[in-house]
Amino acid sequence: MSAIVLKSTEGLSREEWLAYRSLGIGGSDASVVCGVNKYKSPIELWLEKTGQAPPQEAGEAAHWGTLLEPLIREEFTQRSGIKVITVNQILQSREYPFMLANLDGVCRCPTHGKCVFEAKTANAFKAGEWDGDFVPQEYYLQVQHYLCVTGYNGAYIAVLIGGNAFQWRFVERDEEVISMLIKRERDFWTLVQDDVPPPPDGSNACARFLAKRYPNSEPASKIELPDSAADLIHQYNEASEQVEIFTEQKQKASNLLKHMLGEHETGTIGGDFVKWVTVTQERFNAKLLEAEQPEIHAKYTVKSTYRRFSISNKSKGSQLCMRSIS
């Protein structure tokens, strides 16, 4: 099985490239769809694919990763003896047209035939993620997605860590993982096509989406919640109690360290530095302006509306509140 060439990327502008990416799910989207990406939630990806939010801007790490890609490809060839051919194309799966691929390159393995090549960079703090033969989960899912699109049986991932440590891994085709990806990506793409958001998660993006989708409440309206709400209320209350405990622990540690510092600005122990620095700020006194110049205060006062979320327990006579994102 070979992939379809959807579009050549030669001379393609970033805007045009993003437009083609919106036609399906790419390899870097696979971990997001599976809910294991640390930097993007499924709801953020859904908003992008449905055109309700602009694609995330590439950060510094992605920028330098792109610039270093040719060097990583060349270094891999020099060390492994395996030649890598660049692929300036957007590929599409014949069987699953919602699955797209932008490959860094292709190469040939003596035992597995034609393979995917993927170049990565990682800062020194992430070196532990590459210990032994380990491949970070998001990259493992990315190359399995590519293997599904291309029909190849293996992939090489070369990584430059901290700018001075070079490694590479070989990843075999995993049919079980690929079957899982096909199902999850198909389900996600159905949500995109039907304009139905994925189930709520714990991300800030989801909170912003809900606040935008339901900006106002009907006064005095009431609804009977489903039985599953009881578990969520318990989860919310338990988490709130844990937050209070850890907040108090953090404050106690902070206070004890401040007491140790006294009038000193910096304290050291081993390789740690503790600072308690004097900071001078100027703040606008809105209350004073309201008292002395009420007309001016009223002229420049902007009214905002938000929905406040709270859970109250009659048996305990307590109320836990959380301000929502307006």
Q: Give the pLDDT confidence of 209-221 residue by residue, as tens digits.
A: 888 888 888 988 9
What is the model's pLDDT at position 319? 45
- Model pLDDT for residues 83-117, shown as the tens digit of each residue: 999 999 999 999 999 999 999 999 999 889 999 99
Which amino acid would we find at residue 152?
Answer: Y
What is the model's pLDDT at position 170? 96
What is the model's pLDDT at position 323? 35
Q: Is the pLDDT confidence value at 314 over 70?
A: no
- Model pLDDT for residues 126-146, shown as the tens digit of each residue: 888 898 889 999 999 999 999
- Name the more confident of 316 and 87: 87
- Model pLDDT for residues 147-193, shown as the tens digit of each residue: 999 999 999 999 999 988 999 999 999 999 999 999 999 999 999 99
- Model pLDDT for residues 23-58, shown as the tens digit of each residue: 999 999 999 999 999 888 999 999 999 998 888 776
Tokens standing for residue 206: 């989801």
What is the model's pLDDT at position 125? 85
pLDDT band for position 316 (cuts 50, 70, 90): low
Between the CA atoms of 101, 104, 107 and 112, what dihedral angle is there, to the nearest 10 degrees? -50
- Rama region for 206: left / alpha / beta (φ>0; ψ in -120 to 50; rest): alpha
What is the model's pLDDT at position 196? 95
Specify the long-range contacts of residues 138-142, CB closer than 8 Å, at least 24 apart: 138/28, 138/30, 138/31, 138/36, 138/37, 138/38, 140/171, 140/177, 141/30, 141/31, 141/34, 141/36, 141/177, 141/181, 142/27, 142/28, 142/30, 142/31, 142/118
Q: Is the pLDDT confidence value at 318 over 50?
A: no
CA distance 3 to 146: 10
What is the model's pLDDT at position 202? 86
Are the C-beta atoms of 173 and 153 separated by less than 8 Å? yes
- Model pLDDT for residues 226-238, shown as the tens digit of each residue: 999 999 999 989 9
- Name the more confident of 297 and 182: 182
What is the model's pLDDT at position 90? 94
What is the model's pLDDT at position 304? 75
pLDDT band for position 305 (cuts 50, 70, 90): confident
What is the model's pLDDT at position 324? 38
- Name the more confident of 154 and 324: 154
What is the model's pLDDT at position 315? 58
- Name the more confident of 161 and 301: 161
What is the model's pLDDT at position 320? 44
What is the model's pLDDT at position 187? 97
What is the model's pLDDT at position 82? 95
Helix segments in the chain, DSSP class H: 14-21, 30-33, 42-49, 60-80, 137-150, 175-194, 204-213, 229-261, 286-292, 294-299
